[in-house]
Amino acid sequence: MMKLNALQPPRIDTVKPAPERPEANPAAEASSFGNLLQSTFDQVNELQLKGDEAVRQMVSGENTDIHNTMITLQKAEVSFELMVQVRNKIVAAYDQIKNMQM
């Protein structure tokens, strides 16, 4: 038969204090949000440029694979639509905050 040991509480000298949380920095948070948006816009722009290049190659005869061309165009379209919807939500949230009564 297996013997169970009693649970021992940790010794106080072995307990480490919780790491300190840095103070909230609104400027840094706004900057990181702005960087996130800029990064997203850059990615959407890159997909748009790839779509344009795929169409150019298709029209010039360099690439005859219509399936990959259509997939590239769909990726560009979906990413652009998502970006527009996110922008609309941000604008709506800004308008809602702007119209708050203080």
What is the residue-level pLDDT of the chain in tens, covering all 102 positions?
555 555 555 565 555 666 666 666 666 666 788 898 899 999 999 999 999 999 999 999 998 889 999 999 999 999 999 999 999 999 999 999 999 876
Residue 8 lies in a domain: no
Q: What is the predicted pLDDT for the residue at 47?
A: 95
- Contact between 63 and 54 under an 8 Å Cβ cutoff? The reply is yes
Residue 18 lies in a domain: no
- Contact between 76 and 48 under an 8 Å Cβ cutoff? The reply is yes
Q: What is the predicted pLDDT for the residue at 54?
A: 94
Round to whole Å and give the CA distance between 79 and 10.
Answer: 52
pTM: 0.63
Q: Provide the residue range defining the domain that includes 63.
A: 38-97
Which residue in 50, 81, 44, 82 sits closest to 68, CA to CA?
Answer: 50
Provide the H-helix boundaries in 1-102.
26-60, 66-98
Round to whole Å and give the CA distance between 56 and 50.
Answer: 10
Residue 80 lies in a domain: yes
Residue 65 lies in a domain: yes
Q: What is the predicted pLDDT for the residue at 5?
A: 55
Tally of domains in the chain? 1
Residue 49 lies in a domain: yes
Residue 24 lies in a domain: no
Look up residue 75 and give its two tokens. Answer: 């990726």
Residue 62 lies in a domain: yes
Residue 75 lies in a domain: yes
